[in-house]
Every structure is written in C-alpha cells, then in structure tokens.
Structure 1
Amino acid sequence: MIELILEDYLASLKEKDELDILLSDLLKLDGYTVKSLPKTGERQYGVDLLAEKGEEIYLYVIKQGDLTRKIWDGDNNSVRQSFSEIFDVYLDTMLDSSNQSRKKNIVFVTNGIIKDAVRPNWEGYKKSNSTENINISSILLPDLVNLVFQQGFNETLFDKSKRSKLRKCLYFLDEPDYKLDFFESIISGYFEELEKVTTRQKKNKIFSSLQMLLSLVNHNAHEKQRYRISIQFTEYVLISMWSYMQKKNCFENSLEVLWLHKFIRFYIDSNEKFMDNLRPFSTIRNGLPSYNPVEYRVLCFEILGYISVYAAFLSTVNISNNLDLKYSAEDTVNLLISLMNNNYGFYYPVYDNDGIEVSLLFYVMLLQRNITDVEMLVKRYISHVFANIRSGKYPILERQYNLAMEIEFQETDYLKRYSASFLWGVLLEWAMLTEQDDLVKQILAFDFLSEATIQNWNCSSEEETNLYIKNEIHMQGYTDILNELEPKETKKMILDTSKIADFKHFSFIEYSFPAIGLMISRKYRVPVIPSYWRREFINRKE
C-alpha cells in the first residue's frame, strides 16, 4: 500500500521546484555532489540539474509526466530538443575544461513512464548517440519510487513500525474527528533518532526522510481537501523541530536552519491552500457548512485559530522574496475579517478556552490594524458574549461537545457551574489595555460573573522546555486573578515590565520565530502568553 501511495505522490510532482528538488535531495543522500539547480530566467541549454560522483559527470533532463511523442519531439521544450542543446552547446561551452575528459552521463528523468509508441525512438536515440565517453540513460517513476525507499525510507529510518503507523495515518484521513496520534508518533521517532546522531550526513538523511514523509501526508490530505489537517501536520513538525533546536541549542547551525526553512515552506503551502478553499465562503452570508448551530460555531473558532496564527506568522517573521507568497499578512487578515463579517459564529464562543482564539485574533489585529479597529473589535466581542450569556448560552468550561449541545437547546442550566473563566480574563484585559473603562465596569458589575474568578495565565522562560511536551504543558505557569484588585492595580500588574523582559528569553522570541509559541497555544489548548500583546502596548506608550 505504501508503495502505491508513494507512487501516486511522486507522479503528482511538478517539474519545477518539486521533482527537481526531490531528485537533488535523493542524489545528495546517495553520495552525489549537486553542482547546480536551474534558476528562473537563466538559459539552461538542456540541463535541469548538474551533479558529479567520483570521476563522472551527470547531466539531468527533467520532465513531468509520461514520455509521449509530443513530449519527446513536439516543440522547443521537448526532450529531444533538450538533448540536442546538451550535445551542441552545453558539453562544448558550459563545462569547465577540467571536466571535458571525464565520463558524462546524460539522464532523462520523469515521474511517468515511456509510452510504447515512443519507446523505439528513445532506444534508437540512445544507441545512436551513446559513446565510450557519453552514456545516455533514464530514471522513470518506478525507479524514483525505488530511490526514495533506498535513500529516504530505508529500514533504519522508515522501518516496518513507521510504515504501519503511516498506513493508519493515511487510512483515517476521511474521518471527521481525525486524530494525529500516528503521525505524531512517527515524527517523534525521527527526532529521537536525530538526538542520537552527530554527523552532518546522518542528520541530512533523517531530515530528508522526514521531509518526504511530510510531503506524502500533505499530498494525501490536500487530495482529500483536509487542509486543516495538513496545517496540523506542518505545525507539529515545526514545533518538534523548534523543540529539538532549543534542546540542542543549534539555532545558529546552518544545517538545522536550512531544514527549518524547508519545513516552513510546507506550512505556508498548507495555509495558502486552506485560504484558497475558504475564499468562496468569505462573501456568502453564513456560508460556512455545518449541521447545527454548535458545530457551526466550533468550525468558526477553529478557522479563527488557524488563520490568526498564520497572519501572526506572516506579520512577525522575515519572509525571503524567493518564497513567492500568494497571500500577505494584510491579505490574510482581510480574508478573516470578510469571513467574520458574514458568519455570526465567529462572535459566539462555544467553550471558555475559545479565549485562546479570541486573544490570537486581538493580537494579530493589533499587529495589522490601528488601535481604533482593535477597540471596536474588543467592544463587539464583549457585547456578543454578554448577549449570549443572557440567553442562557454560556461558554462552557469543559470542552465537551454533548454538553455544549445541551446548553444550546436549553436542556441544562449551567449558571451554577460557572466558577472561573479564562475567556473573561482575555476580554477584561483587552478592555483595560484599550482604555475602555465603561466596558471594564460592565464586566466587573455583571451579575453572572459576581461569584466567578476572572483569570489569565502566564509562564516564565525558565519553563519553556516543558511547553513542547503535551502532557507537561498544562502543569506549567501561574494564574493571575484579574478581578480581586481595583482596575488600576490590575492594569499595573498586567503591564509589569519585568515579565516583558523575561519574555525576551523565550527561544522563539530571541531567535525571531514567535509564531511557534502561538502554534503551541492553539494546538495544546493553553492560553497564549499575554506578553505577546502586553509588550506591544508598552512599546506604543514609550
């Protein structure tokens, strides 16, 4: 089964920036030195990739799909034309003089097969043009599959246990409540291996295998239009990668940084496909599909979390020009606002810890919009949550869908169980920071909250290592109570500069990848570290 899935994935790769990069990685793993990859706008004279191994030179002509008569000799971009340019120009003028005497291998590479109708032409061309010093050969789809298994998914790095987990990971992709357990187990295995090896070559091999695995699962998720799952795949790899780099203190190592950037590209691609899928719904009134009001609101807040984290990522990370982004941070926020304007579910949290998504939204709006827009948004959320509670629909403390359904249809009175709230901690804090004293007074005077503890969570940089561990993260940090002091004293506590100073010592802040902390909050359901936005307010005042 894995062979068939891998074959389907390899057959889908585009020639530029996918198949050529995969081939380059496979060659490096097999001991080749890759000398050059094609650059956009530069004349290639038939050669898509140049490599060497031992005393021999390898020139690769890469095409996507089956070799048909048209692809063989149909136009100026045909395979035969590429071979002619290699013989007529490249071999004589583009190779260094030191390479002229070396044996040369001209290799046709495709993620398809050679069709029977054109095979005689191909075999005849090879026979006529091969010499003692020039060998012509091919790498077809079955050969690529074998190369991947030999060089990337070998028995050491992709053993039977991992293959079994991968089959299960892919098999359940159609399930509505998909769990990442099998995928996360595979990824954890890779990083356990990485912690044991020391040589650059062995690390490269593990990272290459991990990259191919991520490509494979993302491809299958995209085929099934499970874009949120694809984002989860990439987020988990980035969190695991950052945890590994933090543990090894290798943020300035070129190898790890190179692979981190490759994994970031997967994260961007998954988010862009997700937004492509959402765009048609963004202008339709209540157009997001759902079966009932609770499911609709749950979906809205899931979308809110993914897009807010991605918008924050785009707002806070230096993106190199060669990534060719489809959506900027501003585009991403605009899409989110359009969705919110047309879907009421974004304003009515189902669970108390949907305050995570609310704080992510407020934070990214603070980064991308003016303070007046943020003030209006805070006021709007407080108004809507007030209205919902007055209707008996409380943001519940337990993340239990069945209980949420009972409350939605007035089958349970939840009032007496509302003893503490993180959501109201977020709303109260933002009302204070945007200096909306009337809203602060309304919250503190609200009868519903008179017996409840309004709180917010925080942690110190000394606890960072445990943030990456699912079962440890909820045991970390401390809670501030926001309704036990006078508002002025509470605000003074919120803007404590010593906590902001400590925030700079988190590795994802120190090394300029703050989105990692936001991914952790969304994934592991822990409040966002409030220093993200508190430092923004402090900096605005200075």
Structure 2
Amino acid sequence: MKLVFRQYLASLKERRELDAVLPDLLSELGYTVISRPSVGTRQYGVDVAAVGRDADGCRKLFLFSIKQGDLTRADWDGSPQALRGSINDILDVYIPTRVPEAYSKLEIVICLCFGGDIQEAVRDNVTQFTRQQTKNGISFAEWNGDYMAGLLVNGVLREQLVDKSLRASFQKAVAMVDEPQIAFEHFERLVRGLCKVEDSTPRQRATILRQIYICLWVQFVWARDAGNVEGPYRASELAILLAWHLIRADVPKSTKASEEVGSAFAELLNLHFLIWDELASGKILPFVDHEHAISVAVGSASPVDVNLKLFTLIGRMAMRGLWHLWFAGGGDRLPMARDDWDCPEASELAQQIVQLIRNNPILLTPFTDEQSVEIGSALIFLTMMGGWNQAAGNYADAVIERTVYAFRSHSRYPTIYADYRSLLVHPRERTSEYREGQTKGSSLFPLLSLWASTFGEGMGARFLSEFAEKELGHCNMQFWLAGADSENLLYLGDRSHGASLGGIPITTDGERAMRMLEAECASTTGFENLSAISLGHWPVLAMACRHAGLPLPPDLWLGLLREARSTKAADGED
C-alpha cells in the first residue's frame, strides 16, 4: 500500500495537485490549516501553513514549501522558483511580516515538501543550509514522498477507519487502471463501503469525503501515467453522487463542521473537473471539427461500439457545460436560458458539441431509447446558451428524420433494451411484430417532439406527429417523474423508484403535451423534495439520471421550453 502512495506522490505536479492534496492530509491528521495555495498573490515561499503538534508534543506553526517529484540540484538552487529561494523568502519576509498575530509566539517548522526524494548530489547542500538557518524558534523538517506515503497509509486510510477488504479494493482499482471497467468496479466497492455508515457526525463525513478524494487522486495519477483516465472519470462521477447522498443534510447548515464537509465536497467536484480536462481537452475536443475523426478513434468496426461511445461523449460534454452554467449562474435553482452568459468555456463547449454532431452523423441515430438522457442533456445545454437554441432545434429535427427512416427500413431504430448483447444483434428480425415488441415505450420521441415544435423549423415536429399517429399506436410515450422514494435511491444509482407518466401526445405544435406536463408537474412534490433541487444543485440530479440511465424529468427542463414558447408567441404577435 505504501509503495502505491509513493508512486502517486512522486507523479503529482506542484500546482493544483500536490498543493491541493496536502491541506486535506493535514486536516485529517489533526492540523489546523490556516493558509492554502492561491493564484495571483505572492506567497513568499509558503504554499500551505498549518498549526499542529510536532513529534515532541508541542504546538507549532508549520510552513510548507512544495516542489514536485525528486529534489534535484536545479530544483534546490537553479532558478528563481527554486526551493532555496523560497526558504529565503520565508525567513526574510513571511516570518517577520505575514505570520498571524495569534500564532506569532509559536515555534516555527519550515517543511521542505516534495513528492519524491532528495537526490544524493544535493543532499549535503540541503543539510548544510538548513543547519545554518536553524535557530531559536525556527527549525526544519523534510516531508518527502516516503514520509507522506506513511502518513496516508497510517493516517487517512488507517485500518481503524478503512476495512481490510476495502483497502484491497483500492489496491486493485489502482493496479487495473489500464482496464477501466475492472478498475471502476473495484473503486465502486471501495466508495460504497466507505459511504455505508449510519449515525455519522459531520466530522466523520468530512473524513470519509477526504478518504474518497485522496483515493480518487491516487487512481487518477496512476491512470494518467498509464495513458487511460476513463476509469477515474467514471469513478469521479460515482464518487460525487455517493458523496452527495452522504452529506446532503450538511449542505444547508452553517456550522463549522458542516462547512468543512461542504469544502471537502467542493474539492471532490474540482477533482472531477480536472479528470475531465485530462480526458477530453487534449485527446478528444481538439478533433471534434474533423469529419469522422472521433468515430474512427473509437477503434472498433462495430457500429454499436461507436454509437455507444459517441452518445456517452456528447452526454459528458453537455454535463460539463451544465456545470459551467450552474457556476456562472450563481447557483440558479433550475436551468435558465440567457443570451449573455459570461462563460467562454461554455460557449466553446456548445460549439464543440455542434461540431461533434455535424462531423459524426452516427449521433443522429440513437440505438437505444435510454440514450434520451444523453440527447436531453445536450438539448438542455444548447437551449440554456440562448444563441445556440436553434442548434438544439436542428438537432432534434435531424434525429427525428434519421430515426423514422431507421424504423421504416427495419434498421437500427431505438429499442427499449440497453444491454450490450441485445444491441449487437438488434434488429434480430425485420418484421412488424418484432419491431412493435422493441418499441413498446419511448421517452425519446416525446422529448424530440417538444424540442422540435419549440425550436425547430416545424417540418420535423409535423413529420414526427404524422409518423406517430400512423405507426406508433402501440408505443407508450412516457417520461420519468421523481417520486417520494426517489430522494433516498436516486444518488445511489437505483432505478426502481419514481413514476412513469405515460400517454404523452405527439402533436405538431406540442401544446397538448406541454399542458399535460405542466399539470402533472404542478400536482406532484417528488421533484421539489429532491435535495439536489431544494438545495440548488440541479446538475447533481442531471448527473444522477445519466449515471442510472433514467430520462431527465420534465420538471427540470419544462421552464426552458415554456419561456421559449412564450417568447416565440410574443414575437409572432409583433
């Protein structure tokens, strides 16, 4: 276990990685962190400052100066950012001027912190320098990778807190990072085991979140070194959902312990975004404007593999965009459409989603009705972006056209089944009886109908209405609604909760469906009682639906369509 952590620490970068993990490690070991890394302000050599008890039992002020990997001669004294210069800044400026008054009488320990080891070529230089600078009230300590790995094993993941079987799951999750599915399964056992507690205190929940955070960091770093971060990305989504289920009662509270829990959850969320950046920014997003490039990159001759990968990708891109807009909107209670989002990252993602669709036409032919959640996520994101809502309508129109053609030609039309084996052989038969059995219900068609009738050119909505009336009489048009039991099951990935609203009418203008949904949503309270909604974290709900394969509930997006239809009607009157 210690070797795993040593490799992890040695691979961490200095900024946003090692300096992000260290404060959590210190907090869990009983230190009080009084200063964290910041960007844009001069820190005079101190990356992290904390107060705690030293090995002699005395309370001291610890000042950490952080470097990545092994400490080489260049890292020690070969550049303006070298460690020796940072220590001089601490001695000359930070200690005389920046130490808070409350801690000014404490002894000071300057900690040389790095993920690897001190190379022998520079060991004597470091030893002689620290010996000369040691004086009354100021001493030095070496926090190298081996020392911090021991703290992680014996501190955050000590056996009293983490069961032996869970430690084994963690080791397997790290060892199998080049097999994303296997790594994910082992990490899932670990996280579910850590979160399976009863009657826990806020401080205990904060500890659990830090354990998950550090374990996810370790898996991510090992996977990054192996060149495959698919497993950690999936693990990070699961970690966020299970963490939310664990700490949802702490979010509205303002006690110090609850704020500590909220801070730990925010760090977990930031790590999820960091993993997304590693997964998509360098290897996927730069190529979305190349025709068929992403489809070919899947590396499979099976259209099912390409289809599933591409729809998963567009759902992930949309999900990242929704998080961007949630942050930019200041925590709006529900998705809102604006033309003036001050969020260039979201604008870039919207353009990349449109380019991905344009250059990979397989995204116009969903193979399973369950992909309505991926399509719905993309439609919501593009609609929220204001100027991109026409692209949402065009996408709905195009999917309608291709899907109807696939149905009529007995090709790969959306089936009610989503398991891989069924999709590989679908359609087994080219008969009307088989086709009716595969399309008994649909959440995709009513979703497309509403978006096409709101934002499309009109032809797509009319085409789907005529098609549904003539050939989909056997199909139950439906949406999923949250129920009273959803709050305790949704974030755990359970699908057996909530209710199905069936009999959604497919019409050219979509008005009957809108009235039906508005009446039903107004009469039920399951959606309002979801903690992700009542506490203003609606992207957590969207993420939970994607993870469980549930359609996005109409309560989430109905306001977007209602506002757009009102604007459209007002423009028509003018």
Task: For 1:141-220, list aligned pairs within 5 A.
Answer: 141-175=145-179, 177-178=181-182, 180-193=184-197, 195-198=198-201, 200=203, 202-220=204-222
- 2:109–2:139 CA contact under 8 A, matched in 1: yes
Partner residue of 2:547?
523
- Once residues 273 and 469 of structure 1 are traced to their aligned partners in structure 2, the CA distance between those partners, rounded to angstroms, is 25
- Once residues 530 and 37 of structure 2 are traced to their aligned partners in structure 1, the CA distance between those partners, rounded to angstroms, is 39
CA distance 1:533–1:471, change in 2 (3 Å): closer
Instruction: Name whichever of 65-74 and 467-476 sits farther off.
Output: 467-476
C-alpha displacement of 1:91? 3.6
C-alpha displacement of 1:386? 1.4
CA distance 1:125–1:306, change in 2 (3 Å): same
The DSSP-based 3-state class of the residue aligned with 1:452 is coil
One-letter amino acid of the counterpart of residue 384, structure 1: R
**1:303 aligns to 2:313 (yes or no):** yes
The DSSP-based 3-state class of the residue aligned with 1:462 is coil
Instruction: Name whichever of 437-446 and 157-166 sits farther off.
Output: 437-446
Which of 231, 234, 238 is the aligned partner of 1:232?
234
Partner residue of 1:420?
440
The DSSP-based 3-state class of the residue aligned with 1:117 is helix
Which of 559, 563, 568 is the aligned partner of 1:535?
559
- 2:184–2:232 CA contact under 8 A, matched in 1: no
- 2:206–2:261 CA contact under 8 A, matched in 1: no
Instruction: Name whichever of 426-435 and 507-516 sits farther off.
Output: 426-435
CA distance 1:482–1:149, change in 2 (3 Å): same
The DSSP-based 3-state class of the residue aligned with 2:62 is strand
CA distance 1:251–1:117, change in 2 (3 Å): same
Which of 279, 288, 300 is the aligned partner of 1:282?
288
- 2:397–2:456 CA contact under 8 A, matched in 1: no
- 1:6–1:216 CA contact under 8 A, matched in 2: yes
- Once residues 35 and 400 of structure 1 are traced to their aligned partners in structure 2, the CA distance between those partners, rounded to angstroms, is 50
C-alpha displacement of 1:230? 2.8
One-letter amino acid of the counterpart of residue 283, structure 1: D
One-letter amino acid of the counterpart of residue 392, structure 2: V
CA distance 1:380–1:369, change in 2 (3 Å): farther
CA distance 1:495–1:432, change in 2 (3 Å): farther
The DSSP-based 3-state class of the residue aligned with 1:62 is strand
C-alpha displacement of 1:138? 1.0
One-letter amino acid of the counterpart of residue 466, structure 2: A
Which of 245, 251, 254 is the aligned partner of 2:259?
254
Partner residue of 2:451?
430
Instruction: Name whichever of 431-440 and 531-540 sits farther off.
Output: 431-440
CA distance 1:500–1:300, change in 2 (3 Å): farther
- Once residues 492 and 47 of structure 2 are traced to their aligned partners in structure 1, the CA distance between those partners, rounded to angstroms, is 44
C-alpha displacement of 1:161? 0.9
Task: For 1:105-504, list aligned pairs within 5 A.
Answer: 105-175=109-179, 177-178=181-182, 180-193=184-197, 195-198=198-201, 200=203, 202-246=204-248, 250=252, 253-276=258-281, 277-288=283-294, 289=297, 290-292=299-301, 293-318=303-328, 328-370=345-387, 371-393=389-411, 394-407=413-426, 413=431, 414-422=434-442, 423-434=444-455, 438-446=459-467, 449-460=471-482, 462-468=484-490, 472-483=494-505, 489-496=512-519, 498-499=521-522, 502=525, 503-504=527-528
CA distance 1:378–1:57, change in 2 (3 Å): closer
One-letter amino acid of the counterpart of residue 225, structure 2: E
- Once residues 374 and 500 of structure 1 are traced to their aligned partners in structure 2, the CA distance between those partners, rounded to angstroms, is 29
One-letter amino acid of the counterpart of residue 424, structure 1: F
- 1:65–1:110 CA contact under 8 A, matched in 2: yes
- Once residues 402 and 206 of structure 1 are traced to their aligned partners in structure 2, the CA distance between those partners, rounded to angstroms, is 37
Render the CA deviation track for 1:63-93: whole Å, top value 9, x for unaligned. 2222222222223332223333333344444
The DSSP-based 3-state class of the residue aligned with 1:158 is coil
C-alpha displacement of 1:488? 5.1
- Once residues 64 and 419 of structure 2 are traced to their aligned partners in structure 1, the CA distance between those partners, rounded to angstroms, is 56
C-alpha displacement of 1:333? 1.5
C-alpha displacement of 1:127? 3.0
- 2:250–2:262 CA contact under 8 A, matched in 1: no
- 2:180–2:231 CA contact under 8 A, matched in 1: no
Query: What root-mean-square deviation, in Å, do the aligned CA atoms of Structure 1 and Structure 2 show?
Result: 3.1
Render the CA deviation track for 1:99-139: whole Å, top value 9, x for unaligned. 66543322211112111111122222233332353322211
Render the CA deviation track for 1:404-439: whole Å, top value 9, x for unaligned. 33347x766542423423122322333444487654
One-letter amino acid of the counterpart of residue 549, structure 2: R
CA distance 1:516–1:47, change in 2 (3 Å): closer
TM-score under structure 2 length normalisation: 0.84
- Once residues 345 and 534 of structure 1 are traced to their aligned partners in structure 2, the CA distance between those partners, rounded to angstroms, is 27
- 1:126–1:137 CA contact under 8 A, matched in 2: no
Instruction: Name whichever of 176-185 and 134-143 sits farther off.
Output: 176-185
- 1:272–1:326 CA contact under 8 A, matched in 2: no
C-alpha displacement of 1:458? 2.8
One-letter amino acid of the counterpart of residue 234, structure 1: S
- Once residues 436 and 511 of structure 2 are traced to their aligned partners in structure 1, the CA distance between those partners, rounded to angstroms, is 29
The DSSP-based 3-state class of the residue aligned with 1:481 is coil
Render the CA deviation track for 1:29-54: whole Å, top value 9, x for unaligned. 22322232343343333333333334
Instruction: Name whichever of 266-275 and 31-40 sits farther off.
Output: 31-40
CA distance 1:497–1:367, change in 2 (3 Å): farther
One-letter amino acid of the counterpart of residue 423, structure 2: A
Partner residue of 2:28?
29
What stretches of structure 1 of length at least 5 have no aligned partner?
Answer: none
Partner residue of 1:15?
14
Instruction: Name whichever of 386-395 and 518-527 sits farther off.
Output: 386-395
Instruction: Name whichever of 492-501 and 204-213 sits farther off.
Output: 492-501
Render the CA deviation track for 1:183-213: whole Å, top value 9, x for unaligned. 22221222223x433263x343332222101
C-alpha displacement of 1:327? 6.6
Render the CA deviation track for 1:155-206: whole Å, top value 9, x for unaligned. 122331111111232334333654733222221222223x433263x34333
- 2:416–2:438 CA contact under 8 A, matched in 1: yes
- Once residues 340 and 435 of structure 1 are traced to their aligned partners in structure 2, the CA distance between those partners, rounded to angstroms, is 16
- 2:322–2:539 CA contact under 8 A, matched in 1: yes
- Once residues 191 and 384 of structure 1 are traced to their aligned partners in structure 2, the CA distance between those partners, rounded to angstroms, is 44
The DSSP-based 3-state class of the residue aligned with 1:527 is coil
Render the CA deviation track for 1:278-336: whole Å, top value 9, x for unaligned. 1233122111223222221121111122112222222233478xxxx997222112111
CA distance 1:500–1:87, change in 2 (3 Å): same
- Once residues 122 and 417 of structure 1 are traced to their aligned partners in structure 2, the CA distance between those partners, rounded to angstroms, is 75
- Once residues 228 and 74 of structure 2 are traced to their aligned partners in structure 1, the CA distance between those partners, rounded to angstroms, is 35
Instruction: Name whichever of 431-440 and 99-108 sits farther off.
Output: 431-440
TM-score under structure 1 length normalisation: 0.88
- Once residues 62 and 88 of structure 2 are traced to their aligned partners in structure 1, the CA distance between those partners, rounded to angstroms, is 16
- Once residues 484 and 536 of structure 1 are traced to their aligned partners in structure 2, the CA distance between those partners, rounded to angstroms, is 19
- Once residues 101 and 465 of structure 1 are traced to their aligned partners in structure 2, the CA distance between those partners, rounded to angstroms, is 50
One-letter amino acid of the counterpart of residue 278, structure 1: I
What stretches of structure 2 of length at least 5 have no aligned partner?
Answer: 53-57, 331-341, 568-574
The DSSP-based 3-state class of the residue aligned with 2:284 is helix
One-letter amino acid of the counterpart of residue 307, structure 2: R
Instruction: Name whichever of 102-111 and 476-485 sits farther off.
Output: 476-485
C-alpha displacement of 1:473? 2.6
C-alpha displacement of 1:399? 1.7
CA distance 1:132–1:9, change in 2 (3 Å): same
